[in-house]
Structure 1
């Protein structure tokens, strides 16, 4: 049986409404508590039911209500979440989403998207002696944490509503521009360990007329050296590539990178190829 802290924003709202409805129908507080346990599989104390029904306590005073309906901002957040962003839950019940990146404009775009759904994120800069210094964005939200922890297929449905923003978020995170001038070779590439995510991106790109292919680049168990230490891949690593010049040009026009250095590299290569002025 679940507890109130296990519920997401929408579930908690429904349980609260159900309790008030039962009270309006004449049930006692004890009967309401038992009905919720039986019909909703949620454990709730009689005292909590009393506070709700007498409007002495609103659980959303502790849980900031967000706009988690499909929107360009939420689609961008999902794209970044499938890439560089991370979720964490601390022992003191702090639910956090965090992004740590080199490019300030990327951090600012993610911050703005979080603000757009109702959060108050923090933007800062961290100096790191062992790695390149990075910008970070973080926000605390149980509602967003639980929303993003849904099966990825549920998140795909939001992304389908705003595919351009989702793809921009994902490629801001995972994408790179590969330009080899001697051979006039220009490729947009994105790596991920989850084949389903890349395949979903491939389908969305196709809707924009952008053709791409997915390759298995590293097999599970293959060695890799990081800062002089040898490790092994825990999972297969896949790469999505946009190879055709026509498709690369469409990506430049339709999707675009938020990150200036990626956008500039792509734009410069397209100019050298004579595809744009």
Structure 2
């Protein structure tokens, strides 16, 4: 089966490269199953896959694995599974053809909107975590070349680092890198032109931008602490701590 560039295919590629790298919310253990812990993300993904394959959208099935709830949709398409496993260089033209959809997929899968208070002002940054620096390099290129958005990357955690995930101790098998979009204008453009499929992430970003725009960053910081969030160290989040891969 030959795959032609399309908005849906670019979104699926981005989603797979993002979460598929770590096997967390999106898992593709075979070319036959999509499994996510976010229902809206899974619905968007299965709708795109169904359109690509020219098939009716499958029904979501709820499953459980190690205490977590997953939403599954099964497709029989070995060709799509093999295509998504292609080297990054072969997938790059598809990402470049529809950059907003590719970026929306990967940021929805592996990114977050991080809200924090700095020197009494409310700040918002967009963060993407991944173990593949080449993939993050492609993301930086697409952000800059198509949207003129500045971003930077850094090594977040080294291989072998550990942290607690509930009662489990997680050991990092690869170096983990993070890409950040921090400039206020760039963050606003990202949220407006790319955004997140997951409504909670998009809502967090939009609310922070709206507060800063309407009452200023200083008063916005007070309102955010009061109404939108819970304190977590020196940063405030209303959807949990920043993702660490």
- TM-score band, normalised by the shorter chain? 0.7 to 0.9
CA displacement at 1:135 relative to structure 2: 2.3
Partner of 1:108: 43
Partner of 2:189: 250
In the superposition, the TM-score normalised over structure 2's length comes to: 0.77
Match of 2:13 among 78, 91, 94: 78
Whole-Å separation in 2 of the counterparts to 1:194 and 1:123: 33
Q: How does 1:173-188 map onto structure 2 within 5 Å?
A: 173-181=109-117, 182-188=120-126
Whole-Å separation in 2 of the counterparts to 1:256 and 1:136: 24
- Unaligned segments of structure 1, at least 5 residues: 1-8, 10-66, 90-94
Match of 2:87 among 126, 144, 151: 151
CA displacement at 1:275 relative to structure 2: 7.1
SS in 2 for 1:235: coil
How well do the aligned residues superpose, as a CA RMSD in angstroms? 2.2
Determine if the alignment matches structure 1 residue 88 to structure 2 residue 26.
no
CA displacement at 1:123 relative to structure 2: 3.6
Tell me if the contact between 1:220 and 1:236 (Cα under 8 Å) persists in the aligned partners.
Answer: yes
Determine if the alignment matches structure 1 residue 168 to structure 2 residue 108.
no
SS in 1 for 2:11: helix
Tell me if the contact between 2:28 and 2:35 (Cα under 8 Å) persists in the aligned partners.
Answer: no
Tell me which stretches of 4 or more aligned residues in structure 1 moved more than 6 Å: none
SS in 1 for 2:18: coil
Distance 1:217 1:139, change over 3 A: same
CA displacement, residues 84-128 of structure 1 (integer Å, 9 cap, x when unaligned): 233334xxxxx32423122x2211111111122125453424254
Whole-Å separation in 1 of the counterparts to 2:42 and 2:139: 22
| Structure number with larger C-alpha Rg | 1
CA displacement at 1:252 relative to structure 2: 1.3
Q: Say which structure, 1 or 2, has more relative contact order (CA 8 Å, 6+ apart).
A: 2
Partner of 2:151: 212
Whole-Å separation in 1 of the counterparts to 2:11 and 2:113: 20
- Unaligned segments of structure 2, at least 5 residues: 20-25, 216-245
Match of 2:133 among 181, 195, 202: 195
Match of 1:259 among 171, 185, 198: 198
Tell me if the contact between 1:168 and 1:257 (Cα under 8 Å) persists in the aligned partners.
Answer: yes
In the superposition, the TM-score normalised over structure 1's length comes to: 0.68
Partner of 1:28: none
